[in-house]
Amino acid sequence: MAERAAEHSFASAFPIPAHLIGQVQSRLAYVDEAIQTAAISEDGGTVRLELAGGLDAAALAALEAKVLQVVEEMAKGALPPKVEVLEDHMARPVPYAEDPMPELLARGEVSREHTGIYSLGPLVTRLIEAFERYFVELAAEFGAAPQRFPTLISAEKLDRVNYFRAFPHSLTFATHLREDLHVINDFAEHTHYEEAGLNAPPESFSRIQALLSPAVCYHYYFALADKPLPGGQLIATAVGHCFRYESSNLNTLERLWDFTMREVIFVGPADFVLENREGGRQKVAAFLERIGLAYLVESANDPFFVGEFRKQAAFQNAFQLKYEIRARLPFKDGSLAVGSYNYHQDFFGRHLNISLPDGKPAHTGCVAFGLERLAYAFLCQFGLDPAAWPAEIREVLA
């Protein structure tokens, strides 16, 4: 039987600044397998953990040291970023204020298959289709070429763009049994799911050549690698399954292991990418106004892991590389990122050797939406009864 969780609180070496509390807290999930939940007090001075029981004093001290290492690497001497708010419609009145999850679960509109893995029923599916219809229209306004990308992604290519250094914590690996008669027969005969996983010996599995894809636009850059960019500029769109292992941060439809992303992707000179990213933002703002969503758009950073976090987040902030669309979640007086506007400068162009007609590396950017999150935030603001939904969304359901 699993041992009872034990609470453990201790003081941080220094107060964690307010702007980093959420980010540090979410990284603590990855510090030790014994950590079940991690919270940082509002003043940033205390770390509260829920731990799997049975840790002795030495194990506890080692765990505390790891937590303090994260706090130190991410937060020591950190200056607050300049937060830029491009749009603020948080105060838009919306008709609903309950948590939609209990009813979604009760109606079978959302079924949990496993932590972070959910199936969606007809109402939520149609709602996502309504958003998708809009995104396809949006992409058409850019003349974006439709693309389909695989769910698996090449480990070799991800290595080329330093993905393993930036986001190691959230990777999901694809493996298979080694080509060996004994290994495969042994697996067939003895393998069962026990408590928290398959009981097969790790050496049965192949080395990793592929992962489950963490984003959509990477596939496009990989397809354009090592050649001149056709026509000097391109716009494409695709929807795809994305996978991010978010550990104990996995939480209802807010944070999934397996989710879907729709992207419009821009590749070309810097001004081309930036103008289109901005044009995309304005078009999306008009749509969100029509449906009456309460949200804001503000500067943000990608969820880099501990070692890369300070440098990379500061870099993204300094060069205005990422903005998030954060929708209001009225029932918890919070917000959730439902989409982002991203500019990568010539990062992919350099690492993947995508060249412009003048021989310089191409710049890239994208507009990305998390479809489950968008549907969830919408349901948080408008409820489950389509009669209360904005006409624009109701129409496409009919």
Least gap, CB of 22 to ligand ATP (angstroms): 9
Of residues 48 and 351, the one with the C-beta less far from Zn ion: 351
Examine residue 221 and tell whether it contacts ligand ATP (CB under 6 A): no
Query: Using CB under 5 A, which of 217, 224, 288, 352 touches Zn ion?
Result: 217
- Under the criterion CB under 6 A, does residue 326 sit at the interface with ligand ATP? no
Binding at 30: pick from ligand ATP, Zn ion, Mg ion, none (beta carbon under 5-8 Å per type): none
Q: How far is the CB of 387 from Zn ion (least distance, A)?
A: 36
Shortest reach from residue 29's CB to ligand ATP, in Å? 12
Task: Say whether residue 339 binds ligand ATP (CB under 6 A).
Answer: yes
Site for Zn ion in 365-394 (CB under 5 A): 366, 368
Report what 246 binds from Mg ion, ligand ATP, Zn ion, none; CB cut-off 5-8 Å by kind. Answer: ligand ATP
CA distance 253 to 255: 6
* String of contacts with ligand ATP for each residue 237-276, x by CB under 6 A: -------x-x--------xx--x-x---------------
Cα–Cα distance, 125 to 398 (Å, whole number): 13
* Distance in Å, CB of 268 to Mg ion, minimum: 25
Contact 374, 339 (CB under 8 A): yes
Site stretch for ligand ATP (CB under 6 A), options 6-14, 28-36, 90-98, 369-377: 369-377
- Nearer to Zn ion by Cβ, of 44 and 349: the residue is 349
Chain residues binding Mg ion by CB under 5 A are 300, 337
